[in-house]
Amino acid sequence: MNAPATTELPVVVIGAGPVGLAAAARLLDRGNEPLVLEAGQSVGAAVREWAHVRLFSTWNEVVDPAAEKLLASTGWTRPDPATYPSGGDWADLYLRPLADVLGDRVRLGATVTGVSRTGRDRIVDADRYQRPFVVHFTHADGREERVFARAVIDASGTWATPSPAGGSGLAALGERAAADRITYRVPDLKDPAVRARYAGKRTAVIGSGASAFTALASLADLAKFKDGTSTKGVWIRRRGISESTFGGGEADQLPARGALGLAAKAAVDEGHADAVTGFRTEAIERDADGRLVLAGEDGHRPDPVDEVIVLTGFRPDLSFLNELRLGLDERLQAPVELAPLIDPNQHSCGTVYPHGHRELSHPEPGVYLVGMKSYGRAPTFLAMTGYEQVRSVAAALAGDTESADRVELTLPETGVCGGAGLFHDPAADQADGGGCCAPEPALVQLGVGAPATTAAEETPAGGCCGS
């Protein structure tokens, strides 16, 4: 076949979330034509699935400068920069207007199924890098299509591929069979149907990050209402509990992130949640009454629960990139040059050095994984980091290496996005109050009756760690 001239082709951006649309704005600002392919039926489709959750970043931190410049031409003005948007606010007040400006450069209901070099699978070397990319995608009605591209920016995120409950990285035995009682998202307890599902129930929350904090605080808040009496959380942690467990508190440079950790601590302090530490889930079973029993790797079984919320992170879907020559770290599934900078054993959101096109490059020139997808399995991503990534990538694609190499971002330090710890380092386990390798899982209640903090629905919760 005769491949089209690369110079005449668009840059395909996969995903119309905050980072994908920012990439499109940056490309336009550099004189390159973007084509954004979004699997969902609306822009920010993943963000809309957690529309009820409030970000712990303000409007000042979640609007890309190039996108704002593009929007300004329509008369759009940024909401109060000191306020905290919810996911729904972010999607409705920023992403939707931005997509409207981009117009037919954004295609909805377009699920990318494969990316390759035109006429070259991953084995073939001959004039490989002179060939344009070919991107296959399907429409919502099943119709298939392909487009050619001079470069591909994958900003599809990791939302669609949550990690399982199993402590080995695999689904726990019985996890799939118990799917009717398990969710992998923070539930919206303002939705009457969802609220009824958890009200008065005993719910296990598996995870230790911002999402787990949000779920614990929300369940604790539900317990304070008449319809939620007896609501109880059971916090399942692989590690122990120490002073650093709940983040930076009042010292956090993202104040709302610190407040989220304090709200989760209050849930435990007030007795609305018990913490089971040193527990790695091996199986999920049903008792005679149909309730769920979590079985640990050592055989320990806490009391049965009615529901399970699994918030153990996300992982990238690399299946449609299988014909490309990617250089990915064997542990994190992130670009090899980026992986040491984001290793959750060592880094938090604020200690990750701002990075750009060089750290995001692969053996296959012209392809970049950005946003949450670039972090692989690392959980420490901030939206601001994604905006800096695509600024650098767009500059590199425009041939402005000087700008592409320049760092234009300062990140806030401290907080709940801290490292996961060296799981099998006895010293680290001891310092953290037992850690995941504690010889006996412990049921913990901390300071029952401690003073209450702000209710969960008033506390900005999570959100900045997303694509």
Per-residue pLDDT tens digits of the chain, which is 467 residues long: 455 656 689 999 999 999 999 999 999 999 999 999 999 999 999 999 999 998 878 999 999 999 999 999 999 999 999 999 999 999 999 999 999 999 999 999 999 999 999 999 999 999 999 999 999 999 999 999 999 999 999 999 999 999 999 999 999 999 999 999 999 999 999 999 999 999 999 999 999 888 999 999 999 999 999 999 999 999 999 888 766 677 666 666 666 667 778 888 899 889 999 999 999 999 999 999 999 999 999 999 999 999 999 999 999 999 999 999 999 999 999 999 999 988 887 765 556 677 999 999 999 999 999 999 999 999 878 888 999 999 999 999 999 999 999 988 766 554 333 333 333 343 444 333 333 233 345 444 333 333 333 333 333 444 334 33
Q: Rounded CA gap, 426 and 437, in Å?
A: 8
Q: Rounded CA gap, 40 and 36, in Å?
A: 12
Residue in 289, 424, 386 with CA at minimum distance from that of residue 19: 386
pLDDT at residue number 249: 64
pLDDT at residue number 81: 92
DSSP β-ladder status, 292-296 and 281-286: antiparallel
Q: Determine contact, residues 223/262, Cβ cutoff 8 Å.
A: no
**275-313 pLDDT per residue, tens:** 999 999 999 999 999 999 999 999 999 999 999 999 999
pLDDT at residue number 381: 83
Query: Which residues lie across from 79 on neighbouring strands?
Result: none
> What is the pTM for the complete model shown?
0.85
Buried/exposed 18-57: b ≥16 CB within 10 Å, e otherwise: bbbbbbbbbbbbbebebbbbbbbebbbbbbbbbebbbbbb
Q: Rounded CA gap, 185 and 135, in Å?
A: 30
End-to-end Cα, the chain, rounded Å: 37
pLDDT at residue number 283: 98
